[in-house]
Amino acid sequence: MEDGPTRVSSSETDQSSRKPKLGRAVERSDCTRRDCRLRQACQRLGSEHLTGFGVYVLAHPCPTCLGALYYCSPDNVFFLTQREEYEKFYTDSRKYFEFGEFYDEYAKEWDERDLPLVYEQRDEGIEIYERWQTLDE
């Protein structure tokens, strides 16, 4: 393995194979490509963990990106701007997504959120987690 983190960036992919080129840091410039790039970096390293590596992002990670980053556990996440700084430039017309209110949704109980969530408890639902545990042993 080379010194420093692996770089995976959509702007640095081999267009004929769509495979990322190696560089010095895992980077993402937007949320829509973040999962793919983190997955590519993990595949390249042969691990689900980015321990020992840093991830570079444009802005403070959104909750979705933050979840993915927590999961792959990099040593550091470097960002250039905070949500409050770029909020005035961000517009979206999604039904349940308004920039300022979106983050407040996470503080609410699941059944109080604007997005209608329906809990359909089934015993089979836990079986997949039991299976994962046996596979991890």
Name 70's Cβ contacts closer than 8 Å, sequence gap at least 6: none
Which residue is it, tokens 């980077």? 27
DSSP assigned state of 82: -
Q: Is the pTM of this model over 0.75?
A: no
Domains of the chain: 10-136 (3.40.140.10)
Angle separating helix axes 63-72 and 31-45, nearest 10 degrees = 10
Beta bridge partners of 81: 59
Cβ atoms of residues 25 and 57 within 8 Å: no
Residue pLDDT tens, the chain, 137 long:
345 544 554 444 433 434 344 333 443 335 556 678 888 888 999 999 999 999 998 888 888 888 889 999 999 999 999 988 887 887 767 777 777 777 788 889 999 998 899 999 988 888 988 988 888 77
